[in-house]
Amino acid sequence: MAWLLLSFNGLYPFTSDGSKEAKDAADQAAGEPRHNITILAVGDVNLGRNCGQSIIEEGPQYPFAHLRDWIESYDLAFCNLESTISDQGGETVKPDNRLIFTAPPGAETALTIGGWDFVATANNHCYDYGLSALKETIHRLNAAHIACNGTALESDGLYKPTYLYACGYCMAFFAVTDIMNGPVKGTQLENHLNWADRDALLPNLQEARKKADFIILSYHGGVEYTPIPTHETVDFLHWAVDNGVDIVIGHHPHFFQGVEWYNNRLIVYSLGNFTFYQKGWMYWTDYGLAAGITLGDDGIVGLEFIPIRANYQAQVIEDAALKEKILNRLIKLSGNDPAIIKRPSPGPAPF
């Protein structure tokens, strides 16, 4: 499936299908003068539950309008969309199970108002309301011109990259999950979800490496409420980098975790919560990180982390002492090297 090739904030998103529209977009992007591209990445965004009710009652500007100028100061903005967007007659959470939730219609407009350009839909809540809600989410994001990856309308769309063109660069975006709230293998979900499957992912990474300047992988996995990534997560993400991924954006633990430069590539193991408010469930569920990443001809040429107060309306933290506390924790989780959370990659990327 190809995206309608509209110039949307300088972004030309589509999946690779060999269509004339895809070729035209690539040609148009290739003609743009190159300059460094800035990407904003945040962690978990849940537009269901109470946030969903506020979208219904107060309108789609509710979750992100106050952050729009900040979000749009970056060339591209990413979040992990950890709720489907589906019409359940006003229901945004199961009355008997708060672990099953959905965003209401209009949440796609909220994302547009906020300035989000691309989202991951591969996570353990993508199937909360079944296959119809999973597909409805994709349709709504497509209609809102928000690029998405991680789930597919049909099996032939699985593991295919979404190509993003901006600032003269081509980026291939993949999203996978290593965790689900029920079985995947042998169910209909297997035909609609990008599982963290090396065999399925590898040929598509290899093909994307031939076409893209950068490959970005959104990874949903690990163990909730832990500050350290699992050995399985580290092993999988090292494998992904070894096979062409330039940037990994991790999420699921609801805690932020450390940063690693591996073979001159950036792995952010978890950015924690953003618009996923857990009401002080644990101290660190109330705080997350945003990553500001700058890409250029020499690879990753800039990196900063911005402390976030997670809430239904997330806030960029301004308090100096709290910012220092959060960034010091990130440094500790990243091997006690203060340079690791802001330095550019140690050498040019071998594109």
Q: How confident is the model at residue 25 (pLDDT cuts 50, 70, 90)?
A: low
Q: How confident is the model at residue 246 (pLDDT cuts 50, 70, 90)?
A: very high
Q: What is the dihedral of CA 221, 83, 142, 8, to 10 degrees?
A: -80
Beta bridge partners of 149: 120
| Residue-averaged pLDDT of the chain | 91
Q: Which two tokens stand for residue 310?
A: 């997670």
User: What are the tens digits of pLDDT across the range 162-187?
Assistant: 999 999 999 999 999 999 999 999 99
- Say what the pLDDT of residue 279 is: 85
User: What are the tens digits of pLDDT across the range 282-324?
Assistant: 999 999 999 999 999 999 999 999 999 999 999 999 999 999 9
What percent of the chain is predicted at pLDDT more than 70? 89
Sequence-distant (6+) residues with CB within 8 A of 223 are 230, 253
Mean pLDDT of 87-111: 98
User: What are the tens digits of pLDDT across the range 270-290?
Assistant: 999 999 999 888 999 999 999
C-alpha 6: how far from chain center: 21
Is the Cβ–Cβ distance between 75 and 167 less than 8 Å?
A: yes
Is the Cβ–Cβ distance between 79 and 119 less than 8 Å?
A: yes
Please list, residue by residue across 229-241, b when 16 or more beta carbons sit within 10 angstroms of its beta carbon and e when fewer do: beeebbebbbebb
Scanning the structure block, which residue is given the tokens 């990874």? 219
Side chain identity at residue 46, one-letter code: N
Phi, psi of 163 (to 5 degrees): -90, 130
3-state secondary structure of 71: helix
Helix (H) or strand (E) holding 208: helix 198-211
Scanning the structure block, which residue is given the tokens 């597909």? 135
Is the Cβ–Cβ distance between 293 and 39 less than 8 Å?
A: yes
- Say what the pLDDT of residue 11 is: 46
Mean pLDDT of 42-70: 98
Residue ranges and CATH numbers for the domains of the chain are 13-341 (3.60.21.10)
